[in-house]
Structure formats: structure tokens, C-alpha cells
A and B are shown apart, each in its own frame.
Chain A
Amino acid sequence: MPDAIHVNTTKLPIEFDRRAFFTKIGLGSVGIAAAGTIVFAYEYLSPNVLYEPSAIVNTGKPESFAVNSVTMDVNSGIYLVRAEEGFFSLSAVCTHLGCLTAWNQDLGIIACPCHGSKFKRTGEKIEGPAPKPLPWLKTWESDEGDLMVDRSTDISPLQYLRI
């Protein structure tokens, strides 16, 4: 048994030679450079400043909306709904593939023209390929008394704003 240990210790220094060392250094630095290039490319391709419309929309005075009315703002892609329970706003962007939905007054539903998803006034899905209901958006009354909607902040449904 002591003989076997002796053989192992003499082999060690031969395995690690100068050529293997420089190969590892070379491959390692190429790898670091490649990783740096990927990070650099990703950082360059994702814009840091966007010239997109603000997520916060001023929809106007609460009195301008009749009770049981659905008002669409086409430019910002939201619905402002005044139900008997109070105000709320919904995203008008279909949760399927991002088309702009439309409110149908006669049928009392929200419908998407692209792939036929249909939603209730509360955003709940009736039928179609949409995987999720239309999200409720954060809605509040500003100090000036205007109804404000934050399109980037979803809230859980049925949180009516009473004014």
C-alpha cells in the first residue's frame, strides 16, 4: 500500500506543464472577451432613454362621465368606466397579442378585432384566445380633481374609485 501512494506523488508535476498553462490562460482570456462582447452588445442594443408617451394619463373631470358609461381613449389605449359602484379603468390592449380592443355599446362587451377575444365591461374574458382578463389600472383623483390613470401599474380587479 505505501508503494501506491509513492507512485501518485511522483506523477503530479508532469501533468501540469507550461503549454497547458498558456493554453488555459489563452482560452480564459478569449472567454472573458467574448462574455464582455455579449454584455456590451446587449447594453448597446437596449435603449436607456425612450421617447414614448408617459404612462400616466389625465382623463379629465369625473363629472364628464355618465353613470354606466364606458369611454375609450384610443391614443392611450385605456377604458374609463363609470359603474354604479364607482370609477375604474381597464387596459384596452388585448392580453392575447397586443391589438387594441373596442367597446361595443349595443352588445355591452369589449371585443378584439384581431383574433376574436371578447371581454365583459369588468375585463373578465367571455371567449377567445386571450389568456388573461384585461387588467385593471391604477386610478386616482388628482389634487385638481382630475381622474388620473397609471397605465404601467395593474391593480387587482373590483377596486372601484368612489368620488
Chain B
Amino acid sequence: MPFNADQMIDKVRAGRVWRSVFRSGAGSSTLHRALAIQQNIFLHLFAAKVRRRMVRFGVTWYLGTLTFGTFLILIVTGILLMLYYHPSVPQAYADMKDLQFVVSSGLFLRNLHRWSAQLMVFLVFAHMFKVFYRGAYRTPREFNWVIGVVLLVVTLLLSYTGYLLPWDQLAFWAITVGSNLSSAVPLVGGKIHFLLLGGNQVNANALLRFYVLHCVVLPLAAILFIAIHFWRIRKDGGLYVQPSEPKTQAIIDSALAAKEGQ
């Protein structure tokens, strides 16, 4: 019997194990495809069907997806960097240097983390500008814009907390300056500064707090809000598409015709 890949795949998909995991079952009818999306915890955030013109490159330049891509790279490289990095004053800087010069592929992973972080901040802003100038934030998508602003703040905080971790002069003074900004808050500024650093100066407590924020608190917040952000796209009627060109042109033509007729 000759080997047939399609038949093999169909056989696996019809099998009991596969069916216990993916309950939509074999087949490629519209219903099967819709069920495959709806019954998957990750895919159900998205619409079961999209218009082809919604996913054209020119509409969004895929900026949101690219931002999410950099976020995934940051999670993978970040977890790997955590295996060699100790968030303590005597070790942090040396660990960072070890990652650069001693650990196999350490330089690659650290630079990938660093460049992806820079790129993510850039892409978040680019995504925001694209949404703004296309008017994609308008009704019924106002709330998703608000979630987007929360994600912008989380991204900037991730960038800021990660900046301290190399524990070099640049990091130390950047965080000294940055945390002193919080002292300018009226009445409670000094308290916020004290809680943020866990002391009066950038020291061991500050390094540990920034590490926990950078590796646990802020990524969890980002994942939560990213999930809501994606889910809201479906709930708000899919990606925003501008009225098609011919229709707009028709409105202009009829308006001009009406003017000439006067």
C-alpha cells in the first residue's frame, strides 16, 4: 500500500485521541472550520471568519501582530536569561558580563532580548499611530483603545524595569533619575519613591523589586491585557476597515454632480 500523507493525517484526525483533544473533528466544511476556531482556547479569542480585505497588509501593516511577535521573543529569551542571572548587587553585573562572554549563545540571547525590547516599544507606538490616523479607535472600539493605552504603559514599565537589571552605571543613574521623577507627585511622591525602591536609594532592594516587576508582575499584566485586547477585536466586529475606495469616490462624484446641477 503506497504511503499517502493526506490519508494518514485524516486517519489521525478521525482517531479517538485526536478527537478527545480537538472536538471539532475531521472535515473541512465551513462548520468544521468555525468549530475549530471556537473550540480552541487560544483561537476562540479571534473571529471564526474574517473578511479578506481586513487582513490585507496595507490595512494594518500587521503592526499589532508584529508587536505580539516581539513580545513572544522577549518571553522566550527572557526566561532563558533568567537561568544565568542573579538579581543581587555583587552578582548582577558579573552575570550580565558572563552572559556576554562565557555562556554559549548568551551574547545572542541577550542581544536578541535587548533589540526585541527596543523594537517592541517602537512597534507599540507605530501600531498606536496607525490606529489613530486610520480612525480605528472610534465607536465601537473606544474601549479597546483604552486597553491599548494600558498595554502601552505596561510596555514602557517593562522597558524601564528591565533597564536596571544589567546593574551598570547607565542603569544605576537612569533609575536614580527615573525614580526621582515619582518624588514630584504631590503629597505621596516621597512614599511612592520609597515603595518603588524599597529604600531611599537605588540599592539591593530596588534591584530585587525591579526584577520581580520585570519578570513576574508586569508580564502577567501584559498577557492578561493582550488577551482582552485580542478578544475585543472580535467583540467589536473585527479589524476596522475603511469604506472602500469606489464607494467613497461615488459619494464625491454625486456631491460634485449635485453642486454642478445647482
**Residue A56 at the B interface, CB < 8 A?**
no
Please state if B204 and A99 are interface contacts (CB–CB under 8 Å).
Answer: no
Give A20-59 interface residues, CB cut-off 8 Å to B: 42, 45-47, 50-52
**Residue A116 at the B interface, CB < 8 A?**
no
Q: Which residue of A lies closest to B197 (CB)?
A: A47
Taking chain A's interface residues, is the majority helix, strand, or loop, or is none over half, making it mixed?
loop
- The number of residues on chain A lying at the interface, defined by a beta carbon within 8 Å of a beta carbon of chain B, is 11
- Contact A45/B203 with A99-B177, A114-B177 known, Cβ cut-off 8 Å: no
Chain B residues within an 8 Å CB radius of A47: 198-199, 205
Chain A residues within an 8 Å CB radius of B191: 46
Chain B nearest CB: distance from A55 CB in Å?
Answer: 10
Please state if B177 and A98 are interface contacts (CB–CB under 8 Å).
Answer: yes
Chain A residues within an 8 Å CB radius of B198: 45-47
Taking chain B's interface residues, is the majority helix, strand, or loop, or is none over half, making it mixed?
helix
Please state if A52 and B173 are interface contacts (CB–CB under 8 Å).
Answer: no
Please state if B195 and A50 are interface contacts (CB–CB under 8 Å).
Answer: no
In the assembled complex, the Cα of A98 lies from the Cα of B191 at a distance in Å of 16
- Among A97, A98, A99, max chain B CB count under 10 A is at A98
Query: Which of B180, B201, B203, B205 contacts A97 (CB under 8 A)?
Result: B180
**Residue B194 at the A interface, CB < 8 A?**
yes
Query: Which of B177, B180, B181, B200 contacts A50 (CB under 8 A)?
Result: B200
Chain B residues within an 8 Å CB radius of A42: 195
Query: Which of B176, B195, B204 contacts A98 (CB under 8 A)?
Result: B176
Chain B residues within an 8 Å CB radius of A51: 203-204
Please state if A52 and B200 are interface contacts (CB–CB under 8 Å).
Answer: yes
Please state if B199 and A50 are interface contacts (CB–CB under 8 Å).
Answer: yes
In the assembled complex, the Cα of A51 lies from the Cα of B200 at a distance in Å of 10
Please state if A97 and B176 are interface contacts (CB–CB under 8 Å).
Answer: yes
